[in-house]
Amino acid sequence: MDANYSLMAIEIATALLAIGVLIIGLLVPKEQRYGLGYLVTIGLTGIFFLTFAFYGTNTKLFGGMYIVDDFSIFFKQIFLAAGILVTLAATLYVKKIGANYGEFFVMMVFATLGMMVLSSAGDFITLYLGLETMTITFYILAGFKKGDSKSAEAGVKYLILGAMSSAVLLYGLSLIYGMTGTVIVQDVAALITAGGGMQPALIVGLVFLVAGFGFKISAVPFQMWSPDVYEGAPTPVTAFLAVGSKAAAFAALIRFFLIAFPDYQAEWKVLFAALAALTIIVGNLVAIPQTNIKRMLAYSSIAQAGYIMTGVVAADAAGIKGVAFYLMLYVFATVGAFTVVMNFSSNTGSDEIKDYAGLAQRSPLMAAVLLVCLLSMAGIPPLAGFAGKIFLFSSIVSQGYLWLVIVGLVMSMASVYYYLSVAKVMYMADPTDNTPIVVPVGAKATLLLTMGITVFLGVYPEPLSVLATIASKALFMIN
């Protein structure tokens, strides 16, 4: 059993960053803690560049418990990119919350650590460890606005429903362990075959796994929690939750289903295809009547999960590449949109879409970023979402899922309806209040980065596409 801890340098550095910032936060007087947010951003950026050194590693640690491969590295970059952008944008918003400024950012780093462990998990125990590290920090973060009843509601709701879904997941894992006698993901497949194929108990376990992961990625019909939590949680947390938690759950889900149950693809592919179609349809249709922008984005992010699931349905390198590619660009579109929401509400105190009237005149940058991000989610070229959808849908079209492609594309065009309704309010209506909206430096950097990258990846998807291909191939290589 090898224990080359240097292979875990990314996780170790992240943990050290979190603990370091926590301690520094205690040493610095309260009114001088505002630099901590930037310190976290710089730290995460450093770790982000460190990750590039790990491409091509592709090894297992501790007898398969922990996997460091290009697939997990790519996902770690997704989490880090989200973390960097959110912490950069959040400083003003968190300052307005008032209390525990430093701890907020520490929690963000811990959540990132949990996601990293999740994406590298090679056995059930590590998976659960990563999942709980991530979700427990999110319980705290969601209820971070102590005086705000909506935020408290979000925290408690996420706690109760999250705990329940963890229980379901855990029960599913225990069934699979009971039937196969192993916790190592990649041994499961062989042991199922040796044990005489798919037993009823295993099928129940499989269904429980779908339900447990379905909750984390907020797939219909396990999506009920997400609009309430997204609306109530502090906006930077919502952004991070929407992006990071979803991506991490996808990473684990892909590794579990593709590696542990490759011989039963026919069964679970149909299940995922149905869930994907349902998620796309419900997410997009329910988003239409929303009047609160955070709820609207919550439903749109449910729909996005549906698109991403089509890549899981493909269950091959092309599909996983689509998932990886889409999740990365989803980071930029989502964080960009939520940064606008965040900055708008710290200036005006409102999250209602009708209050966005005349935003184009009050802050052209914010209006442009929101438009670009929303249209990228809808998959309008030349923005990144278009290339992402091409990758995703081309992976399933020749596997007999033409109907799913049509559902996906028609619904994504229908989604333009509610995205453009926001655009209409921003660009056409005259503002009721003409004061320009101030965008602080950090948030401005996030806005420009997200918009720039979304446009760049749409016009020239090659670099990310190459990385995503490497990541998807690694998943199948390690076995």
Partner 1 sequence: MDFPILSVILLSPILGALISVFIPKEESKIVKSVAGITTFISLALTVIVYYLYYTQHLATGGMQFTEFIPWVSDLNVNYSLGVDGFSLPMLLLTNIIGFNAVFSRSWSVEKRGKEYYILLLILITGVMGTFVARDLFIFFLFYEVVVIPIYIMVIIWGSGSKTKAVTKEYAGMKLTIFLLIGSAFLLAAMIWMYMEAKGLRGGAATFDIAELAMVKFSERFQIIAFGMMAFGFTTLLSMFPFHSWSPDGYAGAPTSVSMIHAGVLKKIGGYGLIRVGLFVLPMGAIAWAPVIAILAVANVVYAALICLAQKDMKYVVGYSSVSHMGFVLIGVATLNLIGLNGAVANMFAHGVMSALFFSMVGYIYAATKSRYIPDLGGLAHQMPVAATGFVIAALASAGLPGLVSFVPEFTTFIGAFKTSSQLIHVLAIIALTGVVLGAVYVLRMVANVLFGPRKEEWDHVKDIHGSYWIPVVSLIFIIVLFGVFPSLLMDMVNSGIEPIAAKFIQAATQIGGNI
- Is the Cβ–Cβ distance between 72 and 140 less than 8 Å? no
- The least CB distance from residue 368 to partner 1, in Å, is 11
Stretch that binds partner 1, among 135-143, 231-239, 249-257, 413-421 (CB under 8 A): 413-421
Tokens of 464: 């990310």
Single out the residue of 9, 161, 420, 448 in contact with partner 1 (rule: CB under 8 A).
420
Residue 66 bridge partners (DSSP): 61, 121
By beta-carbon proximity to partner 1, the closer residue of 242 and 380 is 380
- The least CB distance from residue 478 to partner 1, in Å, is 22
Q: What is the DSSP string of 321-383?
A: HHHHHHHHHHHHHHHHHHHHHHHHHHHHS--BGGGGTTHHHH-HHHHHHHHHHHHHHHT-TTS
By beta-carbon proximity to partner 1, the closer residue of 314 and 437 is 314
Could you say whether residue 412 binds partner 1 (CB under 8 A)? yes
Single out the residue of 16, 53, 460, 477 in contact with partner 1 (rule: CB under 8 A).
460
Single out the residue of 154, 229, 239, 375 in contact with partner 1 (rule: CB under 8 A).
375
Could you say whether residue 354 binds partner 1 (CB under 8 A)? no
d(CA 285, CA 264): 32
Q: What is the DSSP string of 142-183?
A: HT--TT-HHHHHHHHHHHHHHHHHHHHHHHHHHHHHHHHS--
By beta-carbon proximity to partner 1, the closer residue of 186 and 399 is 399
Could you say whether residue 457 binds partner 1 (CB under 8 A)? no
300: left (phi over 0), alpha (psi -120 to 50) or beta: alpha
Single out the residue of 161, 317, 409, 445 in contact with partner 1 (rule: CB under 8 A).
409
Tokens of 167: 């229980």
- Is the Cβ–Cβ distance between 86 and 447 less than 8 Å? no
Could you say whether residue 270 binds partner 1 (CB under 8 A)? no
- Is the Cβ–Cβ distance between 39 and 21 less than 8 Å? yes
Single out the residue of 387, 437, 453, 474 in contact with partner 1 (rule: CB under 8 A).
387
Stretch that binds partner 1, among 25-33, 138-146, 389-397, 444-452 (CB under 8 A): 389-397
- Is the Cβ–Cβ distance between 378 and 300 less than 8 Å? no
Could you say whether residue 448 binds partner 1 (CB under 8 A)? no
Could you say whether residue 424 binds partner 1 (CB under 8 A)? yes
Tokens of 19: 């603990």
By beta-carbon proximity to partner 1, the closer residue of 65 and 451 is 451
User: Can you give the binding site for partner 1, defined by CB under 8 A?
Assistant: 375, 380-382, 386-387, 390-391, 393-394, 397-398, 402, 405-406, 409-410, 412-414, 416-417, 420, 423-424, 427-428, 460-462, 465-466, 469
